[in-house]
């Protein structure tokens, strides 16, 4: 069965650079969630989209932006990267018409040097 795809799986950036993380949800899933997990921390909700509109917002820095496209994939754009942005970024997708369970992608490990 198809799963949530995240790319890239690993990313290394310098401080003040920009990064773009991509998430491809499971087919027929219309909702995407982004979570950030710092080292030794629990995943924290950043932002979510339903039918290409932002549906909820958590503790997402102003330097970050995200969107969901017409094919339902989502991108998380991170600018002016800081050392503290080093984390595992998870994307999860949900399709209420299919089930009400979120499925997580494998995560993107971002390292900011």
Partner 1 sequence: AQKVTQAQTEISVVEKEDVTLDCVYETRDTTYYLFWYKQPPSGELVFLIRRNSFDEQNEISGRYSWNFQKSTSSFNFTITASQVVDSAVYFCALSEISGGSNYKLTFGKGTLLTVNP
Which residues of the chain form contacts with partner 1 (CB under 8 A)?
31, 33, 35, 41-45, 48, 50, 55-56, 58, 88, 90, 92, 94, 100-104, 106-107, 109
Q: How far is CA 38 from CA 8, 13, 44, in A?
A: 18, 16, 9
Alpha helices (H) along 1-113: none
Instruction: State which residue, 55 or 65, has the beta carbon closest to partner 1.
Output: 55
Phi, psi (degrees; rounded to nearest 5) at 17: -80, 180
Q: Please check whether residue 22 is in contact with residue 6, taking contact to mean a CB–CB distance below 8 angstroms.
A: yes
Q: How far is the CB of 31 from partner 1 (least distance, A)?
A: 8
Q: How many CB atoms lie within 10 A of CB 44?
A: 14
Q: How far is the CB of 71 from partner 1 (least distance, A)?
A: 21
- Going by their DSSP bridges, the two strands 31-37 and 53-57 should be labelled as unpaired
Q: How far is the CB of 42 from partner 1 (least distance, A)?
A: 4
Instruction: State which residue, 45 or 65, has the beta carbon closest to partner 1.
Output: 45
Instruction: State which residue, 10 or 84, has the beta carbon closest to partner 1.
Output: 10
């Amino acid at each position: 069965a198809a799963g949530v795809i995240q790319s890239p799986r690993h990313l290394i950036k310098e401080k003040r650079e920009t990064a773009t993380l991509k998430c491809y949800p499971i087919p027929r899933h219309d909702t995407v969630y982004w979570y950030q997990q710092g080292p030794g921390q629990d995943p924290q909700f950043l932002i979510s989209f339903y039918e290409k509109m932002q549906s909820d917002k958590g503790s997402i820095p102003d330097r970050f932006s995200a969107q969901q496209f017409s094919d339902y994939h989502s991108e998380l754009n991170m600018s002016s990267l800081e050392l503290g942005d080093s984390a595992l970024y998870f994307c999860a997708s949900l399709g209420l018409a299919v089930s009400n369970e979120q499925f997580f992608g494998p995560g993107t490990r971002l390292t900011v040097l």
